[in-house]
Amino acid sequence: MSRTRTARWSADDIPDQRGRTAVITGANTGIGFETAKALTLRGATVVLAVRDLDKGKLAADELRTAAPTAQVLVQHLDLSSLASVHAAAKSLRNTHPQVDLLINNAGVMYAPYRTTADGFELHLGTNHLGHFALTALLWDLLPPTPASRVVTVSSAGHRMGGPIDLDDLDWHKRPYNRTAAYGHSKLANLLFTYELQRRLPDGGPLAVAAHPGGADTTGSKAAMSHSSWLTRTAFAAVRPLLLQSPAMGALPILRAATDPQVSGGEYYGPRGFQQSKGHPEAVRSSPQSHDAELQRQLWARSEELTGVTFPI
């Protein structure tokens, strides 16, 4: 058995990334930053695609300190605005002749009801539709090889919220439930990944999904701040048992992005109890995420809503 198939795959198993370019959304903090750091240390040119340029520049400086010869760039990207997605894609196309890794990591979690600049419910608009459009607009920059990857970050939360309603994605017909809205956006990430992979020719880029498990990040803490005092107190007591560091949380994403033995349409997460922590391995997603008709319907709806189509 090769080292990359052991139960303890780590950042040490990442192949040499010199000569490769990785675009990572939401890379200024947490899981995204740790993903960028690991790829930078292995020689990749890394683009931090971030909403807050000042925070992105600080993160880039930190990465250059860790790897003084690294090529680290910052690109403004607000996934909640299709105009920003188009502008970022145009800038990236003007700057980079190819993108070897596109890691769709950024997102919002358990936010109160809000809409994006284009009128979409915030979770779906940011976590899914923004990434759907960005991937389509950059698609032809990915070299036609399995080493090229689109990795979309989902969550164990994709199981929450019950069936997704494609006729009411903006929650106009139902009372808003931010937990369900978040869960549906993470389910959409998987439906998108599986449908994208089905459309790809053999020998071309791979579409892979991953989730970080219970990562102790700023985002998870902010999400918990919306909970009751009792819930926050109880969670604080079990936090060490359920959560792992952002660096560990980044490993499923890194494995999905770089392990030569990964197959398209796989889903990576921690191997421990309830996929909450541990070293990464291929894991199972919900039965709903494998509904091929739902995948096709969401794809068509996403093209309609974003006005963007894939050249495949």
Instruction: Give the 3-state secondary structure of residue 20.
Output: coil
**Cα–Cα distance for residue pair 43/146, rounded to 1 Å:** 19
Asked whether the beta carbons of 124 and 184 are under 8 A apart, the reply is yes
- Which residues lie across from 270 on neighbouring strands? 280
Catalytic residue among 182, 194, 267, 268: 182
Asked whether the beta carbons of 281 and 256 are under 8 A apart, the reply is no
Instruction: Give the 3-state secondary structure of residue 46.
Output: strand
Tokens describing residue 270: 């921690």
Phi first, then psi, for residue 244 (nearest 5°) are -130, 170
Q: Which of 24, 71, 19, 6 is nearest to 254 (CA)?
A: 24
**267 given a catalytic annotation:** no
Q: Which of 212, 157, 210 is nearest to 34 (CA)?
A: 212
Catalytic residues: 182
